[in-house]
Amino acid sequence: MRSFVGALFLGLLGAPALAQQLDADADGVADAVDNCPDAWNPDQHDDDGDGTGEACDTCP
């Protein structure tokens, strides 16, 4: 019973944790917090501070 509860607990926590770890551009910054989720920009530079990284900002 204990292992069943443990598995259920991990299952509930595992799905959102996995979503947070998705990293479409493989720059090491998870999509959930990446300011350019589809552009490789591990430095996350955003000089104008509009929340969109330089790597994908159409109006930097």
- Both structure tokens of 26: 């493989």
By the 10 Å C-beta count (0-12 exposed, 13-18 middle, 19+ buried), 15 is classed as exposed
- For residue 21, the one-letter residue type is Q
Mask 1-40, x = binds Ca ion (CB under 5 A)?
----------------------x-x-x-x----x------
**In whole angstroms, how close is the CB of 15 to Ca ion at the nearest point?**
19
The Cβ of residue 44 has, within 10 Å, a number of other Cβ atoms equal to: 15
Q: Which residue has the tokens 């720059």?
A: 27
Does the footprint of Ca ion cover residue 41 (CB under 5 A)? no
Kindly state the smallest distance separating residue 17's Cβ from Ca ion, in Å.
16
Contacts to Ca ion by CB under 5 A: 23, 25, 27, 29, 34, 46, 48, 50, 52, 57
